[in-house]
Amino acid sequence: MSKSINVALIGNPNTGKTSVFNQLTGLKQKVGNYPGITVEKKQGSCKLPDGSKATILDLPGTYSLNTTSLDESVVVELLLNKNNKDFPDVAVVISDVENLKRNLLLFTQIKDLRIPTILVINMADRMSRKGISLDIEGMERQLDTKIALVSTRKGSGIDQIKSLIADYGSLSNSPNLDTSRIAPEYFDRLQKAFPDEDLYKLWMVITQDVNFMPIEKKRIKDATSFTTKSKEELKKLQHRETVLRYQFINSALKETYKVDLNAAKGLRASLDKILTHKVFGYLIFFAILLLIFQAIFDWSTYPMDFIDEQFAAAGEWIKNTLPPGVFTDLLAEGILAGIGGIVIFIPQIAFLFLFISLLEESGYMSRVVFLMDRLMRPFGLSGKSVVPLISGTACAIPAVMATRTIENWKERLITILVTPFTTCSARLPVYLILIALVIPEGSILGLSYQALTLMLLYLLGFGMAIFSASVLNKILKIRSRSLFMVEMPTYRLPLIKNVAYTVLEKTKSFVFGAGKIILAISIILWFLGSNGHSQDFKNAEEIVNQRIDTEGLSPYSQNYIQNNINAHITNIKGEATDGSRLPDPRISEDSLKVLTAQLMERARNQEIASYKLEHSYIGYAGKAIEPIVKPLGYDWKIGIAVLTSFAAREVFVGTLATIYSVGSDEEETIKNRMAAELDETGKQPLFNLASGISLMLFYAFAMQCMSTLAIVKRETNSWRWPMIQLAFMSVFAYLVALTAFQILN
């Protein structure tokens, strides 16, 4: 047989559904989106014992089929739409042995849709510790299904799920609950109005705000023989349904599920006492935060430096190996630089998600939400805003995506809007170079001014996020009454495999999501920077050569060459005096000549590149915006860098490197070059305390990130919010930078 069996994995959150999915499918899975919405769609395939194939769909976690979020609607829509190509031949409901009662609520609902349903009882390894004993056969009879007892931690029972799936034809598809018992008279009329349809499906259509085939909501509303009830009455009936379901479950488990409370030993109680303690709870959370920051900002520098070097080397290699031309330039300076700009952030993103998924898998994250909720609420945020705000220190893109867990739309929107204020890692290179330039060395109470400045900038970002949240909380008139509820799962050791999958998946979605935009922008920037329409641009080489021949190299280049030569001479002298090499004046002279020629050639090329950039399209753009940025203390060159870094903040440093024609991204050279740059009067350095602080403040507040705008558009489903965000942040950043410069100058 060639057709594969469609299997839907369904279950409450925290039941280990994803672990079951991972173990069933291994690496054969793909993650996408449901068309038109942002809910993740995970699909994989699995080979069954009888040789046939199964397509496994991992549906979003849900407590029941009464939907309150988009994620949950996906589940209901799929289960009701027989025409959907993913419609399951068999549903596998994953439950957790400790919370079986609650998990069975969802099970009975799915079974009542007359879909063949298998029950998986996961976490069987915890049974003896919790004093739980099961009568599987009795339970199978009571619930009218087949059960697989599974432990994903030990990897047991997975084969049994596979053989039950292969044998799905033998499953009963009769319902657990007689729907008409909810309200006999009402359902009687409903059945009479639609004699051909299944009652429970009709009930779902009436109560759920989802669209599906073949019974349309409209048809029921239009039916003259049948009057629907008011919202209040329907809610009453839903309550009654829940009570009836629990009655059924209680009687089914009465004889088959036993808990010996004396045998139960709980880690939960003792851990909760410490981790949610009024003092220790916060101290522990603070310590964990410090650890995360340490990883993001310290440990990840090693792989980042490595990546940086590799990309620089690859660029050089391409330039030296391929024949020179537009294509080579595009490859080396546009595409490769663009990809490098994305890959460089992978270590930080991976570290961040490593920690977040460890904290989530272990059950700790719910405790943080519990601790922080009340403290965040005055600002219009929720305890669930903590994860996005922490993520924001690495990158706003995954942070904005992490807001999906916030049920309340207003709280979620505010979180999305303020997250970009937190200091993301792309700001770091900009801050570092400016701090090194304009903040004096020296220290107060053992803390260096430079480190203090950096810390202040971080606090400023976070403070601004909180402050604007409370402003938004007052301005936004969104009434969204939705329930805040956090499940506090049992503590468990995270499964390495799950953590690895999460890190891999999130990193991939960052690389491909944000990557596309960053890559596109860097190609556009490369084009605008290496092309121009003016005569000055076209004849750049001749003009600069002529200038150098008549006026000599620029003062900076001359200085640079002189310094290098001096260093070289000292070097030779040093070698001569410590006797490591015999002084041979001829050799020294020759090497000096070669070096000088090399340096001259390099300086000439750099000045040409610089002149070209000045007269390229982007150069003209920079000159055009100079009047706007001048009050902030910037010249047209910084203007260009601000403009290009709209794509992504870190582009700022690279652009300045190109403009100042230092030819390499090496920080020390750019820094020296920037320090040597004079303002228009030609008397004092362009980068002084006033302009430096003004720039830092600008980068702290401005929405300089296309990818974030794109992701906000996706998550809020309209251009309205990203545009408001862009306008507000840019104007605010401009005003703050303006004020700072005018006062300090």
- Of the chain, the end-to-end C-alpha distance in Å amounts to 79
Q: Are 73 and 210 in contact (CB under 8 A)?
A: yes
What is the closest distance, in whole angstroms, from the C-beta atom of residue 232 to other proteins in the complex?
A: 5
What is the closest distance, in whole angstroms, from the C-beta atom of residue 401 to other proteins in the complex?
A: 23
Nearest to 438 by CA among 638, 732, 647: 638
Which residue bears the tokens 């310094």? 563
| C-beta of 29 vs 276, nearer to other proteins | 276
What is the closest distance, in whole angstroms, from the C-beta atom of residue 106 to other proteins in the complex?
A: 8
φ/ψ of residue 685, rounded to 5: -60, 145
What is the closest distance, in whole angstroms, from the C-beta atom of residue 101 to other proteins in the complex?
A: 6
| C-beta of 490 vs 672, nearer to other proteins | 490
What is the closest distance, in whole angstroms, from the C-beta atom of residue 486 to other proteins in the complex?
A: 4
3-state secondary structure of 131: coil
Q: Tell me how far CA of residue 378 lies from CA of 322, 381, 471, 477, in angstroms.
A: 60, 7, 11, 16
DSSP assigned state of 81: -
Q: Are 366 and 319 in contact (CB under 8 A)?
A: no
Tokens of 531: 């092309």
What is the closest distance, in whole angstroms, from the C-beta atom of residue 221 to other proteins in the complex?
A: 22
Q: Tell me how far CA of residue 489 lies from CA of 16, 367, 722, in angstroms.
A: 11, 9, 35
Output the CA torsion 540→546→551→554 (10° steps): 30
Contacts of 731 (CB under 8 A, 6+ apart): none
| C-beta of 33 vs 250, nearer to other proteins | 250
What is the closest distance, in whole angstroms, from the C-beta atom of residue 283 to other proteins in the complex?
A: 13
Chain residues binding other proteins by CB under 8 A are: 63-64, 66, 68, 98-99, 101-102, 105, 232, 235-236, 238-240, 242-243, 246, 268-269, 272-273, 276, 278, 366, 369-371, 373-375, 383, 483-490
Alpha carbon distance 284, 137 (integer Å): 45
| C-beta of 227 vs 270, nearer to other proteins | 270
Tokens of 554: 């620029």
| C-beta of 68 vs 448, nearer to other proteins | 68
| C-beta of 360 vs 665, nearer to other proteins | 360
What is the closest distance, in whole angstroms, from the C-beta atom of residue 62 to other proteins in the complex?
A: 10
Alpha carbon distance 722, 119 (integer Å): 44
| C-beta of 210 vs 629, nearer to other proteins | 210
| C-beta of 1 vs 483, nearer to other proteins | 483
* 117, burial (CB in 10 Å: exposed 0-12, middle 13-18, buried 19+): buried
| C-beta of 364 vs 734, nearer to other proteins | 364
| C-beta of 62 vs 610, nearer to other proteins | 62
Alpha carbon distance 51, 214 (integer Å): 34
What is the closest distance, in whole angstroms, from the C-beta atom of residue 33 to other proteins in the complex?
A: 25
The neighbouring-strand residues paired with 33 are 40
| C-beta of 66 vs 423, nearer to other proteins | 66
What is the closest distance, in whole angstroms, from the C-beta atom of residue 112 to other proteins in the complex?
A: 15
| C-beta of 241 vs 635, nearer to other proteins | 241
Alpha carbon distance 8, 364 (integer Å): 29
What is the closest distance, in whole angstroms, from the C-beta atom of residue 14 to other proteins in the complex?
A: 10
What is the closest distance, in whole angstroms, from the C-beta atom of residue 248 to other proteins in the complex?
A: 13
* 478, burial (CB in 10 Å: exposed 0-12, middle 13-18, buried 19+): exposed
Alpha carbon distance 387, 393 (integer Å): 10
Q: Are 104 and 183 in contact (CB under 8 A)?
A: no
HEC per residue, 633-646: CCCHHHHHHHHHCC
Alpha carbon distance 118, 94 (integer Å): 9
In our burial notation (b when 16+ CB lie closer than 10 A, e otherwise), range 548-580 reads beeeebbebbeebbeeeeeebeeebeeeeeeee
3-state secondary structure of 117: strand
| C-beta of 11 vs 383, nearer to other proteins | 383
| C-beta of 181 vs 235, nearer to other proteins | 235
What is the closest distance, in whole angstroms, from the C-beta atom of residue 77 to other proteins in the complex?
A: 19
3-state secondary structure of 276: coil
CA 482 to chain centre: 25
Which residue bears the tokens 């000439």? 604
What is the closest distance, in whole angstroms, from the C-beta atom of residue 407 to other proteins in the complex?
A: 9
In our burial notation (b when 16+ CB lie closer than 10 A, e otherwise), range 505-529 reads bbbebbbebbbebbbebbbebbbbb
